[in-house]
A and B are shown apart, each in its own frame.
Chain A
Amino acid sequence: MSIRKKSPWILHYNCGSCNGCDIEILACTGPKYDVERFGIINKGNPKQADILVVTGPVTKRTRARLLRLYMQMPEPKVVVAVGACACTGGVFRHMYNVENGVDRYIPVDVYVPGCAARPENILKGIALALEIWEKKTKDTIEIPTVIKKEYEKIVAKMLMHGQVVDRRKIIYDLVSKYIQRKLETPKCD
């Protein structure tokens, strides 16, 4: 067991959840389940966080913020989707204002099912996420799912022309363009 595994810091983001899963996540930090004994702190700051815990189906008003938070987290990072809504969209699937789960926008490492997910399940999910986190390094390049096709097209084009590929810069440009486009559109497009 490496030392790094002993201090994961969590960033918790609610993209339109009903607060059921959020209360269960907060219950994990209470006296009964006490995640601080594993060194886990709920940091509100993406720049110092390691694990992104997302709840809720991604609504159209939160998707740009979700991407922005994900891009602000430094590598190595993992994403845990907590609850049925975050995994697939749950009871809100295919509604007009919902994007059917987190993995349409960012790559998810662990899915924790349940409505609401139980604290034991969340702890197990975070333990699984830590094993994945241990294999990643600070040079890992994570591509948000929503720009993956565009990214691959651009990289293939640049490689064909024999240009030097700065992968992080391409991802950054694509995501900032995407966020700008989505924030400019009227609400509930």
Chain B
Amino acid sequence: MAWILKTIAFLSPIIGGFIYGFERIVRARMQNRQGPPLLQPFYDFVKLLQKRPIQVHSFHSMMGIAFFFATWFALSAFLCGPNILVGLFLHILAMAFFIIGGFSVLSPYSVMGSLREIVHLMAVEPLLILLAVGLFLVTGTWSVEEMFKYPGIPLVYLPLVFIAFVLAIPAILKKSPFDISEAHQEIIGGPEVDYSGFFYEAIYTAKWIEYVFVFAIVFLFTGANWWLGLALSLIVFIFVNALDNSTCRTTFHQMIKFAWFFLLPLAALNIFVLALWRYVL
């Protein structure tokens, strides 16, 4: 069991690359197009290595590379570490590198994107903490490895938390309707706007690791039933892509309102009822 998680953590850039390539095909088919080949992200990877990097200044480039390694480390700590919360907090730290890198250049798009990235963190991270609490109430452990050994299905006890998490996935993966921090038509990618060549590659690969991070959390909702988890993550994958294709971008006010006044109370209600049922009744 532990070695599977360790392998996934080690190979996460490659697994995430395949997920991203598959996603681009699915998105193209939804728009009645053929779409790129499955290996397209890796072709982009090789091409970006052959470009001449233009550095704004060395600190900015270093933050790009730190973002990649910190995201990878956060995923490893999430899957193999003793506590699910450590992984979630390290994930916030990784985003902090990205945000500081975005603030350190003069480009207004980059600074605006970093501000919006902070809004993303404010909207999503409380929900992830509540999710960890809910999983603890059901499985009785903080360790992800132990959660994957839980014989039952946590989804049965945490349906509202799961719905809240699925609706928050677009904000974590920067997809429409909540792609406000990397709005490609208005602020050209946000904090990633000044990276080029090898340094953009680090950002590009870190985004693949986020896919593994999100779908690992979806797997947690099915406990030890791996086949059910695979089916569930496929359904979530197609739902998120359909949502991405069919909605337009919201403003950050709308995103914060949706996250704090709808998703958080939904998750909190589920956990409240569960705790009452477990410890009081």
Contact residues of A with B, CB < 8 Å?
Answer: 3-4, 6-8, 30-31, 34, 36-39, 44-45, 47-48, 50, 72, 74-76, 137-139
Asked whether any CB of chain A lies closer than 8 Å to the CB of B32, the reply is: yes
The answer to whether A44 touches B51 (Cβ under 8 A) is no
Listed stretches B3-11, B34-42, B248-256; interface member: B34-42
- Chain B residues with CB under 8 A of A137: 50
Asked whether any CB of chain A lies closer than 8 Å to the CB of B65, the reply is: no
Cα distance A120–B100 in the bound complex, in angstroms: 44
Contact residues of B with A, CB < 8 Å?
Answer: 24, 28, 31-37, 40, 43-44, 46-47, 50-54, 184-185, 188-189, 193-197, 200
Name 19 A/B residue pairs within 8 A (Cβ), A-sorted.
Answer: A3-B47, A4-B43, A4-B46, A4-B50, A7-B40, A7-B46, A7-B47, A30-B33, A31-B32, A34-B34, A36-B33, A37-B33, A45-B188, A50-B51, A74-B196, A74-B197, A137-B50, A138-B51, A139-B52
The answer to whether B43 touches A3 (Cβ under 8 A) is yes
The answer to whether A76 touches B51 (Cβ under 8 A) is yes
Cα distance A75–B196 in the bound complex, in angstroms: 11
The answer to whether A75 touches B31 (Cβ under 8 A) is no
Q: Which of A6, A48, A76 contacts B200 (CB 8 A)?
A: A48
- Chain B residues with CB under 8 A of A44: 184-185, 188-189
- Chain A residues with CB under 8 A of B37: 6, 37, 39
Cα distance A138–B49 in the bound complex, in angstroms: 10
- Chain A residues with CB under 8 A of B195: 47-48
CB distance from B256 to the nearest CB of A (A): 26
Q: Which of A3, A34, A36, A74 contacts B53 (CB 8 A)?
A: A74
Would A75 and B52 be within 8 Å (CB), given that A6-B43, A34-B28 are in contact? yes
CB distance from A135 to the nearest CB of B (A): 13
CB distance from B61 to the nearest CB of A (A): 12
The answer to whether A31 touches B31 (Cβ under 8 A) is yes
- Chain B residues with CB under 8 A of A38: 36
Cα distance A108–B202 in the bound complex, in angstroms: 31
CB distance from A1 to the nearest CB of B (A): 11
